[in-house]
């Protein structure tokens, strides 16, 4: 394969990754709803460690485990942000304080 073939392959893989990341984000939205309804915290460090350990165990390279862990740290950071918006909708943030703000400030 030449460079253009490899780039086409990367483009297709990127489309697949984007679809999977959006599927993961949809799952995070649902988890955010469940957390809101059960008053669970958004940030669960033990669960995040489990996720990273799980992907690192299944890693076959060439990505180093450390690099894969960093990628997943960023993915989970974005997913937490999505969950925050699920628990405190943008309209509440824009209008000032929310119940969550008052809970955090107490």
Nearest 5°: CA angle at 51, between 48 and 75? 70
pLDDT attached to residue 97: 47
Q: Are 97 and 46 in contact (CB under 8 A)?
A: no
- pTM value is 0.76
DSSP 89: -
pLDDT attached to residue 96: 53
Angle between helices 45-57 and 65-87 (to 10 degrees): 140
* Token pair 């703000």: residue: 101
The residue ranges of every structural domain in the chain are: 3-105
The predicted-structure confidence for 37-95, as pLDDT tens digits, reads as follows: 898 998 999 999 999 999 999 999 999 999 999 999 999 999 999 988 877 665 554 55
DSSP 88: S
Distance CA 52, CA 47 (A): 9
The predicted-structure confidence for 9-26, as pLDDT tens digits, reads as follows: 999 999 999 999 999 999
Task: Look up the CATH superfamily of 3-105.
Answer: Chorismate mutase (1.20.59.10)
């Amino acid at each position: 394969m030449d460079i253009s073939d490899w780039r086409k392959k990367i483009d297709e893989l990127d489309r697949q990754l984007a679809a999977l990341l959006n599927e993961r984000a949809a799952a995070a939205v649902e988890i955010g709803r469940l957390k809101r309804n059960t008053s669970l915290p958004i940030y669960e460090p033990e669960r995040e460690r489990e996720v990273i350990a799980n992907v690192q165990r299944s890693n076959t390279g060439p990505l180093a485990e450390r690099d894969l862990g960093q990628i997943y740290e960023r993915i989970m950071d974005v997913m937490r942000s999505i969950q925050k918006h699920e628990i405190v909708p943008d309209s509440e943030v824009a209008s000032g304080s929310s119940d969550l703000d008052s809970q955090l400030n107490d």
